[in-house]
Amino acid sequence: MSRRWMNIALVVLLAFGVIAVTTSCGKISYNKLRANYHFSRANAHFTDNHYRDAIEEYELALQFNPDLVQAYRFLGESYKSLYKPAVETERNKEVEQKALEALTKAYEIEPNNKEIIYSLGDMYDKIRDFEAAEKLYLRILEMEPTNMGNYYVVAEFYKRYAGQEEEGKEATGKTPGEKAEEMYLRRIETDPENEQGYAYIAQFYEGMTPVPEFDLADEYHERRIQLNPENAEAWLAKGVNRWSKAYRIPTLPKNERMALARDSEAALLKASELDPSYPEPYSWLSVLYKSVLVKLDPGRAQRYEEDADRYLQQFQDARKRQAERKKLEEELGKIG
């Protein structure tokens, strides 16, 4: 017998051997192989955003292995991707129910899996079930109290309900906006040397409606700067904050608006001094001069207009250099 036919025979015998072993292990082993096959196909469809095809394959995988927790999870994610918030159709309600059923089943199998908890919480958030979503997000905090990112996730969840002041207030007496503030503060308390915590809460205060808490935000910009005086981004944030108050509250006394404008100018100039290649401070200096200082000091309007144009040109030049540098880095990366 030739070597070629010997190899073919060996492969055939090996195949029969695998079948024999699988058969000896019983139907469960065969089912698991089929489940893994469909699970792999489903994952490929999911990656390609072909969610309907993914659903079909995940459901087949679960027929062969009902304990495949990740199949439940991504079956739920697939349905979630097809779900359209606030669309009251029978089909959309069915998709909502299927997503919840699959993700709940995954949660029942692995109740301590952070990704599954977050995914189920996110689905409840999408259907605006505040209490159910809140319980799951807070469970993540309980599991990982030192993970800074978790506080941000929970705070952002509360922010989305900040306009619904009675939502979730019964149990704690706090509105979602107050709960969001608490989460940002807890993040700072947990890691007071982390600059990002101060940036997050400053952004929160600046985003409040109808009137932002500019001064509270500025306090946290200052604390961030105290932690790292060489951070150009922190100085930029402070400069934009002071400009925002001067521009957005035109009813302030003229002397107060002028003081805010000067504080903004000083912070933006500091940012550009710390990092001359940083484009954004130049852009905001131009905005400050044209939108506030020209109006507050008409006698020097021409000079402000000229300075604004000069800073705008510096911004454009810096952006151009930044783009060229990025392109060069990409080209070098391809070579490497």
DSSP one-letter code for 299 = G
The span from the CA of 239 to the CA of 270, in Å, is 9
Task: Please check whether residue 284 is in contact with residue 243, taking contact to mean a CB–CB distance below 8 angstroms.
Answer: yes
Domain that holds residue 58: 19-85+93-147
What's the number of domains the chain is made of?
2
Assess if residue 111 is contained within a domain. yes
Predicted confidence (pLDDT) at residue 252 exceeds the cutoff of 80:
yes
pLDDT, tens only, 269-324: 999 999 999 999 999 999 999 999 999 999 999 999 999 999 999 999 999 999 98
Query: Phi and psi of 194, rounded to 5°?
Result: -90, 115
CATH number at residue 52: 1.25.40.10
Predicted confidence (pLDDT) at residue 124 exceeds the cutoff of 60:
yes
The residue from 102, 130, 147 where one domain ends is 147
Residue type at 179 in one-letter notation: K
The residue from 114, 131, 147 where one domain ends is 147
Assess if residue 223 is contained within a domain. no
Q: How many CB atoms lie within 10 A of CB 258?
A: 16
The span from the CA of 277 to the CA of 274, in Å, is 9
Assess if residue 60 is contained within a domain. yes
Predicted TM-score of the model (pTM): 0.77
Residue 57 is encoded by which pair of tokens?
């394959």
Assess if residue 244 is contained within a domain. no
* CA end-to-end distance (rounded Å), the chain: 51
Average confidence score pLDDT of the chain: 88
